[in-house]
Amino acid sequence: MRTREGAGSVADEAAVIARVRAGEREAYADLVRAHTQIAHRTAVLLGAGADAEDVVQIAFLKAYQSLGRFREGAAFRPWLLQIVANETRNTVRSARRLRRAVDREAAMVEAEPLIPESADPAAAAVAGEWRSQLLAALDGLSDEHRQVVTYRYLLDLDEAETAQALGWPRGTVKSRLNRALRRLERALGPRDRERRDRERREGGDTRG
């Protein structure tokens, strides 16, 4: 079974949060260590670029300042990533720059995200030779569609975590994700069909 990034890194997350709320500020370092990597990946994938480290630091500070409003029993990671996403949007907007596909490609090569083959032909393509085409196609999506694909597949959040991180109902996550994947498949369709036809032909030759 694959261990998801950031999951299970804190033995009892709720207990750590309770300690922080009780005034044990140094306990917050456990949460920072457990979630820094995925917070940084989130900032990069959503467009923070060279400002990703600053975005993450600010996000952790804001999360710390907001722990009093954190809902008891909720998962910390998607709540934190929502703060990271908000801070990334603020940073990109104030800097007036958009993330380019080549930057995201470099980040993805380093991060090596995993997308299930069963998700969708377009989504599964990120694991192979069509990665650059898919990432370029992602840049053509609306912000909402790009975010839902990023959280659900590139960051490997489950449906409930994606809904929490984006602040959407689960039904909205499903519908927007389906539309986003259909648009990605249309964008990649002709080349993707050629790849599948080639694989079928090669498979037939092997069996023969």
For the record, the structure tokens of 56 come out as: 């993450």
Highest average pLDDT, of 59-73, 118-132, 142-156, comes from 59-73
Q: Which of 68, 99, 130 is the endpoint of a domain?
A: 99
Instruction: Please report, for the domain that includes residue 78, its CATH number.
Output: 1.10.1740.10
Query: Are both 62 and 130 inside the same structural domain?
Result: no
Distance of CA 77 to the CA centre of its chain: 12
Q: Which of 99, 133, 149 is the endpoint of a domain?
A: 99
Q: How far is CA 76 from CA 30, 188, 190, in A?
A: 12, 35, 41
pLDDT class for 22, splitting at 50, 70, 90? very high
Domain total in the chain: 2
Q: ∠ CA 144-150-154 to the nearest 5 degrees?
A: 170
pLDDT class for 137, splitting at 50, 70, 90? confident
Q: Does residue 107 form part of some domain? A: no
How many Å apart are CA 184 and CA 20, to the nearest integer? Answer: 43
Q: What is the pLDDT of residue 141?
A: 87
CB 134 within 8 A of CB 125: yes
Query: Are both 120 and 94 inside the same structural domain?
Result: no
Q: Does residue 203 form part of some domain? A: yes
Distance of CA 170 to the CA centre of its chain: 16
Q: Does residue 168 form part of some domain? A: yes
Query: Are both 44 and 76 inside the same structural domain?
Result: yes
Range(s) of the domain holding residue 173: 113-208
Query: Are both 119 and 95 inside the same structural domain?
Result: no
- 139 closest CA partner among 89, 102, 168, 94: 102
Query: Are both 10 and 59 inside the same structural domain?
Result: yes
Q: Does residue 104 form part of some domain? A: no
Burial of 26 (0-12, 13-18, 19+ CB in 10 A): exposed
pLDDT class for 90, splitting at 50, 70, 90? confident
What mean pLDDT comes out for the span 188-207?
A: 55
Q: Does residue 108 form part of some domain? A: no
pLDDT digit string, tens, across residues 94-108: 754 444 444 555 555
Q: Does residue 105 form part of some domain? A: no
Q: Does residue 163 form part of some domain? A: yes
Instruction: Please report, for the domain that includes residue 119, its CATH number.
Output: 1.10.10.10
Query: Are both 117 and 208 inside the same structural domain?
Result: yes
Residues 6+ apart with CB under 8 A from 131: 105, 108, 109, 125
Residue 127: pLDDT over 80: no
pLDDT digit string, tens, across residues 34-89: 999 999 999 998 888 889 999 999 999 999 999 999 988 889 999 999 999 999 98
Query: Are both 124 and 51 inside the same structural domain?
Result: no
CB 23 within 8 A of CB 76: no
The DSSP annotation for 132-171 comes to: HHHHHHHTTS-HHHHHHHIIIIIS---HHHHHHHHT--HH
How many Å apart are CA 145 and CA 4, to the nearest integer? Answer: 23
